[in-house]
Amino acid sequence: MKIFSAEQLYEADKITIEKQQITSEALMERAGTQIFNWLHQRLNGTPVPIRIFCGIGNNGGDGLVVGRMLIEHGYNVIVYVVNCSDKRSKNFLINYDKIKNVTKKWPLLMKGESDFPEINPEDIIVDAIFGIGLNRCPGGWVKKLIQYLNESKAFKLAIDIPSGLYSNLPLEDTEAVLKANHTLTFQTPKLSFFLPETASFVSNFDVLEIGLDIEFLQTTEPIGQLISKLEAQRFYKPREKFDHKGTYGHTLIVSGSYGKMGAAVLSTTSAYRIGAGMVTAFVPKCGYAIIQTTIPEAMVITDKEDDYLSNISFDFEPSAIGIGMGIGKNDTTVAAFKKILQNKDIPFVIDADALNILSENKAMLKLLPKNSILTPHPGELKRLIGEWKNDYEKLEKTKKFSEKYEVVVIIKGAYTITVYGDKLYINTTGNPGMGTAGSGDALSGVITGLLSQGYDALLASVFGVYLHGRAGDIAAGQLGYEAVMAGDVIDNLSEAYLDLFVREELSSEESAEK
Ligand SMILES: NC(=O)C1=CN([C@@H]2O[C@H](COP(=O)(O)OP(=O)(O)OC[C@H]3O[C@@H](n4cnc5c(N)ncnc54)[C@H](OP(=O)(O)O)[C@@H]3O)[C@@H](O)[C@H]2O)[C@@H](O)CC1
Ligand SMILES: Nc1ncnc2c1ncn2[C@@H]1O[C@H](COP(=O)(O)OP(=O)(O)O)[C@@H](O)[C@H]1O
Ligand SMILES: [K+]
């Protein structure tokens, strides 16, 4: 699914109105109807007080449409106009008049703190104060209202975006953003929904289609792509009857040092589980018996050193090389890493200590073969690209880094983001259960194993991150977050593949619609 900027959405809005020959009021009616349907399906007539806080722009206009429809269906609705300015958008005014036709309880005008209503925990708050038109940080009593709503225990439903959040700009004041329990966003999710500093304000979200112009949506280059099951299905390369292990490549995993052989076991196993034809582990001598006994399927080449890597030599042409997991930063290991980078024609995955070696030896960055895949967690990324002031600056710096060195950078975390040049691919799988040592090693093995099966660098990254996260989700479903260990993620890679083609069960309301 594409992620568009606020500017692109306004453009889509304009084009839709022109091409479909509808009014902007009709588009707002569509948007409001979708929100109403969502609420009505869930509330089913329950007479709980629904308090709708409307700003004075089109987000407020949406709130008024929802308010009118709820009133028409007999709900207990209280509409407030948050008078942050005396201006009103055209469609706000149209819908302000319309709501007055359906109720005697006219919207209450709020001008300051003394107008804040008492809110009970069982009430529902609908936040329609600001949408994607926010152009400055909320201040004064409006900020206090947002804080007041945040303090309430009532369920908070944000329309389009929680008020105070920019759709694709950095957060200015964490105290001036509505903390929604659920967000209903129009047509495409917004970039801020996926970044660590802002995602928590959104909580859960649903995307509501409002019929924006298909051609615009299909042909416009988005600011990011969300990767879910639908996209992942398209990445999958089916196997052919006469394929053989040679077809799926020979993966080389260069990893481990004394006390860190687990990293080698995990990454070697996951390369096999994701489907590599053959996997050779290159490890220090101390790892020989460990690999041979834990993964009999793997071949092993050992370094001449017992405890760390000093000279990585091999007598075959690997289809892909994954390097860095648990290798340490010994001087001779640094030299060995530098030397292996001379294999310009082999795709690389560079992780963990190999990333730290690069950070400490920045001159080595220009040695990276084109399209190498770097898999930093935020700490490793900081060492690579320097500090950032906010998530947006982090993304911009990572894009520049990716462009400069012609590499793929995978920023790991919740909503792992793959950065390729100026393109962003945001993953939707994974969970906090994966915050456990070794789950990154598993990811490196997965991506290297995909590379060796012929997936290109971008596909291997985005598909690998998806499958790894999905395996983690399946593991968490069986074990609970706390108990998940990296090995469980690997054990469920097979389920993650199988799940790609399992049809989602329809919810009762979806089945009713069919
Ligand atoms: N595009 C689409 O696809 C569709 C969009 N739709 C809906 O429209 C929404 C966007 O509406 P919008 O453009 O009218 O902007 P909105 O968010 O209501 O706020 C702007 C108003 O707030 C004001 N203001 C801003 N910041 C402020 C601050 N800090 N403190 C105080 N005031 C502040 C600003 O005032 P000004 O700067 O002019 O003083 C302006 O008046 C969108 O999110 C969605 O819900 C759907 O209906 C249909 C399809
Ligand atoms: N809260 C989370 N949600 C989703 N994925 C997560 C979460 N925490 C960690 N992960 C995933 O787990 C992996 C952790 O990698 P990393 O920090 O390198 O671990 P290690 O170095 O111990 O192997 C990454 O793929 C990351 O995206
Ligand atoms: K809002």
Q: Interface pTM (ipTM) of the complex?
A: 0.94
**What's the distance, Cα to Cα, between the start and end of the chain in Å?**
23
Do 214 and 261 belong to one domain? no
Name the DSSP class of 188: S
Do 271 and 378 belong to one domain? yes
Looking at the structure of the chain, the number of domains it has is: 2
Structural domain ending residue among the three candidates 202, 220, 238 = 220
The pLDDT value given to residue 514: 43
In a domain, 389, yes or no: yes
| Segment 354-402, tens digit of pLDDT | 999 999 999 999 999 999 999 999 999 999 999 999 999 999 999 999 9
Structural domain ending residue among the three candidates 174, 205, 220 = 220
Mutating to test ligand 1, I would choose from 59, 141, 166, 173 the residue with most ligand atoms within 8 A of its C-beta, which is 59
Directed axis angle between helix 90-102 and helix 24-43, to 10°? 50
In the chain, % helix, strand, coil (3-state, to 5) comes to 45, 15, 40
Do 74 and 179 belong to one domain? yes
Measuring from atom 38 of ligand 1, which residue has the nearest CA?
87
Distance CA 18, CA 390 (A): 37
The pLDDT value given to residue 510: 54
315: CB partners within 8 A, 6+ apart:
none
In a domain, 21, yes or no: yes
- Contact 439/405 with Cβ under 8 angstroms? no
Average pLDDT value for the chain? 96
Do 136 and 174 belong to one domain? yes
The pLDDT value given to residue 408: 98
| Segment 327-344, tens digit of pLDDT | 999 999 999 999 999 999
In a domain, 155, yes or no: yes
> Which residues lie near ion ligand 3 (Cβ < 5 Å)?
127, 158-159, 163
Q: Kindly report the CATH number assigned to the domain that includes residue 482.
A: 3.40.1190.20
* pTM score: 0.95
Do 176 and 139 belong to one domain? yes
What is each CA distance from 333 to 166, 261, 323, 514, in whole angstroms? 45, 15, 11, 60
Our answer on whether the CB atom of 356 is closer than 6 Å to any ligand 2 atom is: no
In a domain, 337, yes or no: yes
Measuring from atom 31 of ligand 1, which residue has the nearest CA?
84
Do 165 and 258 belong to one domain? no
User: Could you tell me the distance, in angstroms and rounded to a whole number, from the CA of residue 108 to the centre of ligand 2?
Assistant: 48
Is 135 annotated to bind ligand? yes
In a domain, 232, yes or no: no
Do 341 and 451 belong to one domain? yes
Mutating to test ligand 1, I would choose from 30, 85, 111, 136 the residue with most ligand atoms within 8 A of its C-beta, which is 85
Domain of residue 464, residue span? 248-499
Our answer on whether the CB atom of 58 is closer than 6 Å to any ligand 1 atom is: yes
Measuring from atom 25 of ligand 2, which residue has the nearest CA?
440
Do 82 and 168 belong to one domain? yes
What ligand 2 atom has the least distance to the C-alpha of 412?
Answer: 27
Measuring from atom 1 of ligand 2, which residue has the nearest CA?
432
Do 191 and 267 belong to one domain? no
| Segment 139-164, tens digit of pLDDT | 999 999 999 999 999 999 999 999 99
Our answer on whether the CB atom of 301 is closer than 6 Å to any ligand 2 atom is: no
Do 463 and 370 belong to one domain? yes
Closest CA to 410 of 361, 469, 473, 494: 469
Closest CA to 310 of 280, 342, 282, 346: 282
Ligand nearest, relative to CA of residue 162: 3
Directed axis angle between helix 439-452 and helix 352-360, to 10°? 90
Measuring from atom 26 of ligand 2, which residue has the nearest CA?
413
Is 204 annotated to bind ligand? no
User: Could you tell me the distance, in angstroms and rounded to a whole number, from the CA of residue 510 to the centre of ligand 1?
Assistant: 31
What is each CA distance from 362 to 135, 354, 401, in whole angstroms? 39, 12, 12
In a domain, 510, yes or no: no
Our answer on whether the CB atom of 49 is closer than 6 Å to any ligand 1 atom is: no
Alpha carbon 451 to its chain centroid, in Å, reads 22
Q: Kindly report the CATH number assigned to the domain that includes residue 69.
A: 3.40.50.10260
In a domain, 241, yes or no: no
Buried b (16+ CB within 10 A) or exposed e, 84-106: beeebbebbebbbeebeeeeeee
Provide mean pLDDT across the span 87-93. 96
Do 440 and 492 belong to one domain? yes
Do 296 and 189 belong to one domain? no
In a domain, 252, yes or no: yes
